[in-house]
């Protein structure tokens, strides 16, 4: 075992391999030189006090146990992650934090109430929680309008044109009204660009839907007016 190269596992000190003492240089910051370690050492060595020895061993032992605990937890986390491949310890942690965020976002709407479609047509794009963690931003876009048979077709087309990655979409209907909510990840670099192109895509849907809806409406409710509002945040 590597850890016993300098520090023997048993105090009786049975020779069990070729020995090579290393880590013998000390970098002297003051002079900027390498010096022999012993040069600057005083009495302290005196050699082989068993007390110091035992203390040192238990110290490094404890430290090793600590490392093992941490690494075990890291391994557990690696197993919990959707990503399978081998990973850097730092990148693993980065993945974990993005996982946690994602899960939190996914779990939220359960408690945050439902998106009931209102009476005014609406296109809304907002940014959720920009904690400057890893350059990725979460956008929440929503569209509220009348339901028409071709709505879903238009939506689907718009989705494929959407920038970033679509995490989730949710749609609810009430009466003849419908509200669709999208959750989209965007790179913080292209954030504003995505922002406006999402807005454009959804507004485009709204236009088409409005056209066909207005046609149908004018037959039945010629008096009804259409109110449209665009909201950004």
Which 151-190 residues touch a second copy, going by CB under 8 A?
A: 152-153, 155-156, 159, 166, 168-175
The contact pattern for a second copy, residues 12-41, with x = CB under 8 A and - = no contact, is xx-xxx-x-x-xxxxxxxxxxxxxxxxxxx
Contact flag: residue 118 with a second copy (CB under 8 A): no
CB 224 within 8 A of CB 176: no
**Read out DSSP for 101-167?**
HHHHHHHGGGTS------SSEEEEEEEE----SSSEEEEEEEEEEE--TTHHHHHHHHHHH-SSEEE
Binding of residue 4 to DNA (CB under 7 A) = yes
Which of a second copy, DNA, none sits in contact with 59, Cβ below 5 to 8 A by type?
DNA
Does residue 93 interact with DNA by CB under 7 A? no
- Identify which range of 4-12, 116-124, 193-201, 221-229 contacts DNA by CB under 7 A: 4-12
How far CA 187 is from CA of 93, 104, 138, in Å, comes to 19, 19, 9
Task: Provide the mask over 38-77, with x wherever binding to DNA is found by CB under 7 A and - wherever it is not.
Answer: -----------------xxxxxx-xxxxxxxx-x------
- Does 22 contact DNA by CB under 7 A? yes
CA distance 143 to 122: 6
Contact present, 186 and 137 (Cβ < 8 Å): yes
128 near a second copy (CB under 8 A): no
Residues 152-181 that bind DNA (CB under 7 A): none
Determine which residue in the list 43, 51, 80, 219 makes contact with a second copy, applying CB under 8 A. 80
Q: Which stretch binds a second copy (CB under 8 A): 114-122, 190-198, 203-211, 219-227?
A: 114-122
Residue with tokens 């007390």: 51
CB-nearer residue toward DNA: 71 or 173: 71
Please say which residue, 73 or 108, places its beta carbon nearer to DNA: 73
Classify residue 66 by its DSSP letter: H
Do 203 and 142 contact (CB within 8 A), yes or no? no
Burial zone of 147 (CB within 10 Å; 0-12 exposed, 13-18 middle, 19+ buried)? middle
Nearer to a second copy, 73 or 230 (CB): 73
CA geometry: angle at 145 spanning 142 and 146, to 5°? 150
How many C-beta neighbours within 10 Å does residue 182 have? 24
The least CB distance from residue 125 to a second copy, in Å, is: 19
Q: Which residues bind DNA (CB under 7 A)?
A: 2-7, 20, 22-27, 55-60, 62-69, 71, 88-90
């Amino acid at each position: 075992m590597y850890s016993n190269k300098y520090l023997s596992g048993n105090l009786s000190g049975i020779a069990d391999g070729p020995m090579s003492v290393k880590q013998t240089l000390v970098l002297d910051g003051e002079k900027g030189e390498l010096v022999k370690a012993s040069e600057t050492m005083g009495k302290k060595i005196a050699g082989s006090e068993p007390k110091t020895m035992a203390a040192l061993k238990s110290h490094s032992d404890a430290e090793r146990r600590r490392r093992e605990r941490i690494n075990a937890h890291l391994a557990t986390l690696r197993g919990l992650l959707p990503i399978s491949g081998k990973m850097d310890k730092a990148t693993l942690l980065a993945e974990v934090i993005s996982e946690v965020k994602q899960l939190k976002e996914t779990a939220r709407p359960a408690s945050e109430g439902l998106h009931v479609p209102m009476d005014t047509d609406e296109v809304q794009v907002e940014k959720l929680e920009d904690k400057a963690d890893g350059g990725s931003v979460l956008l929440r876009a929503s569209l509220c309008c009348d339901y028409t048979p071709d709505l879903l077709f238009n939506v689907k087309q718009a989705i494929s044109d959407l920038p970033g990655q679509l995490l989730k979409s949710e749609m609810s209907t009430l009466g003849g009204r419908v509200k669709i909510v999208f959750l989209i990840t965007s790179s913080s670099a292209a954030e504003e660009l995505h922002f406006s192109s999402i807005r454009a895509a959804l507004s485009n849907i709204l236009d088409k839907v409005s056209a066909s809806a207005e046609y149908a409406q004018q037959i039945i409710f010629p008096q009804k007016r259409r109110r449209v509002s665009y909201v950004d945040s």
